[in-house]
Structure 1
Amino acid sequence: MDKKVRIMVTLREYLQNPCRALSLPYWKSKQGPVPENIKIIHQSNDSASLLAEQAAEPYFRLIHHLDHTPREALKGFFIKTAGLSDIPQIVQIINSSYPDLSVDEAQMLSYTQMLAYCEDLWIFVYETRTHTAVGCGIADFDREAREGVLEWIQVLPAWRRQGVGTLLVKELLCRIKEKQARFATVSGRADNPSQPEKLYRRCGFSGEDVWLIVRKN
């Protein structure tokens, strides 16, 4: 069994600079320690150059201060809140959106038992004419830190570059702000060929924090 190392950061410290203080949302940092075989270092750390030589995985982490979150519409599409009965469809969209990642219904159902789960932060985008679900978005809300976290933003390949991803992100930001959140964060692979970071920045996220992760065998 892997040994684990706990990283201790207080809520006050975290709120001063969330994306620099931790590589993951505050509520997740309290769920359990990091496995000992995983090394996580901020790119500004003196050891970052050493990690780069060990095939480190770079992850961006961005913040949105929710100061401007207009709700938008997209002609030909509409938003629908997802329910538990929609989990099979969510699984299908996620698995169809990634060539190297798959989830199952049990995994997605387990997320609804998490501390930061909010049922109204699971949404679909439907194409109006055919009533086909073409994308889905999932966010969390940490009531203690008052932080919204974008977790999954998926658009089926055939429907990309039509504004669906932007619609998902901006709708979730609106819903997060309505919960009196202080801010929202998002993270993802910095070297992802689909360049999701560009989408998030277009939607108002900012920051320069990158975390390097090395998984030891």
Structure 2
Amino acid sequence: MDFKTALTELYLRDPAGTLPNALWKTLAMLDGMETSIDVRGGEVVHLEARKGRGLYVYWDLNGVPPDIDGLDFALLHAGLARTLDLEEFYVERYFRLVHRGAALEEPFLSAGFSFGDVDVPAEASKVADFINLCYEDINVSSSEVRSWTLSPAFDRSLWLWILEGDEPVALGIADLDRSIGEGSLEWIQVHPSYRGMGLGKAVVFELLRRLQSLAVFTTVSGELDNRTNPEALYRRCGFEGNDVWLVLRRRE
């Protein structure tokens, strides 16, 4: 069994427990990485992928943690880090949730608001400006937004605005990996002046509605310690799970 096949099989069994992001993203960056796989009796018991001093994939059937000595960077499930000494690392925590197509609420918008499709890539600059408006610590460029439309999981029907008149007040972007039927929510933003009005929930439900006939399951991840608590929004929309992933960066 080759590495990509083994990783895909594990991911389909347990998406949130196998990787911190959509499968296609990891598969796309495996070229040039040093991969190892251990299969016993036809069952995968260990997988890992490294590049330089970074660990990008690590899965172990028996929960054996990796040796992080000598690593500068690692993506690691929190369950595998319980016995590790992380004092020498900056640690960022991310939740990872899955939606299995449970009954969906009809997206609700108050009078004066409407859904509109993002004209991609023509509105790349508009999308970048909106994302930057919604974050204090993220800055994306129009060229970066255009690059998202070149990914194998791009689907223009999964880029949407909520508009008040002609002005965008919320944005939703999702990907679709048709090879395994995975939808993934990538960007859910609400204008700072319009938060607390249910627009984020409406964006999520509208994306799930559009994905309903296309995806077998949908994933989402986000900062666990974010003061806006995005995890609560996704749970209200039917996402489930208790997986937490760590991004480890060695302190200088």
TM-score (norm. length: structure 2): 0.78
Mapped contact 2:90–2:248 kept (Cα < 8 A) = yes
Matched, 1:197 2:231: yes
Of the three residues 96, 116, 127, the one matched with 2:153 is 116
Query: Counterpart of 2:233 in structure 1: which amino acid?
Result: L
* Identity of matched residues, %: 36
Structure 1 alignment gaps of length 5 or more: 1-5
Of the three residues 68, 75, 78, the one matched with 2:114 is 78
Aligned to 1:155: 190
Change (3 A) 1:173 1:48: farther
Q: How big is each residue's C-alpha offset from its partner over 1:134-189, in whole Å with a ceiling of 9 and x where there is no partner? A: 0101000001110000000011100000011001000000111121x110000011
Query: Counterpart of 1:20 in structure 2: which amino acid?
Result: G
Matched, 1:210 2:207: no
Change (3 A) 1:48 1:26: farther
Matched, 1:17 2:14: yes
Aligned to 1:132: 167
Q: How big is each residue's C-alpha offset from its partner over 1:94-122, in whole Å with a ceiling of 9 and x where there is no partner? A: 00000011101000000000000000000
Mapped contact 1:41–1:47 kept (Cα < 8 A) = no
Mapped contact 1:48–1:212 kept (Cα < 8 A) = no
> Which range is displaced more, 10-19 or 56-65?
10-19
Structure 2 residue matching 1:73: 3-state secondary structure: coil
Structure 1 residue matching 2:123: 3-state secondary structure: helix
Deviation of 1:86 (Å): 1.8
Query: Counterpart of 1:94 in structure 2: which amino acid?
Result: I
Structure 2 alignment gaps of length 5 or more: 31-49, 55-71
Change (3 A) 1:74 1:52: farther
| Structure with max Cα Rg | 2
Query: Counterpart of 1:22 in structure 2: which amino acid?
Result: L
Mapped contact 1:9–1:21 kept (Cα < 8 A) = no
Query: Counterpart of 2:187 in structure 1: which amino acid?
Result: W
Structure 1 residue matching 2:96: 3-state secondary structure: strand
Runs of 4+, deviation exceeding 6 Å? none
Query: Counterpart of 1:86 in structure 2: which amino acid?
Result: E
Q: How big is each residue's C-alpha offset from its partner over 1:176-206, in whole Å with a ceiling of 9 and x where there is no partner? A: 1121x11000001100111101110111111
Mapped contact 1:57–1:214 kept (Cα < 8 A) = yes
Change (3 A) 1:193 1:52: farther
Tell me which of the two structures has the higher relative contact order, counting C-alpha pairs closer than 8 angstroms and 6 or more residues apart: 1
Q: 1:23-42 to 2 correspondence within 5 Å?
A: 23-33=20-30, 35=51, 36=54, 37-42=72-77
Of the three residues 132, 140, 152, the one matched with 1:103 is 140
Take 1:194 and 1:143, find their aligned partners in 2: how far apart are those partners?
Answer: 31
Take 1:7 and 1:48, find their aligned partners in 2: how far apart are those partners?
Answer: 28
Take 1:9 and 1:166, find their aligned partners in 2: how far apart are those partners?
Answer: 35
Aligned to 2:35: none
Of the three residues 41, 52, 56, the one matched with 2:91 is 56
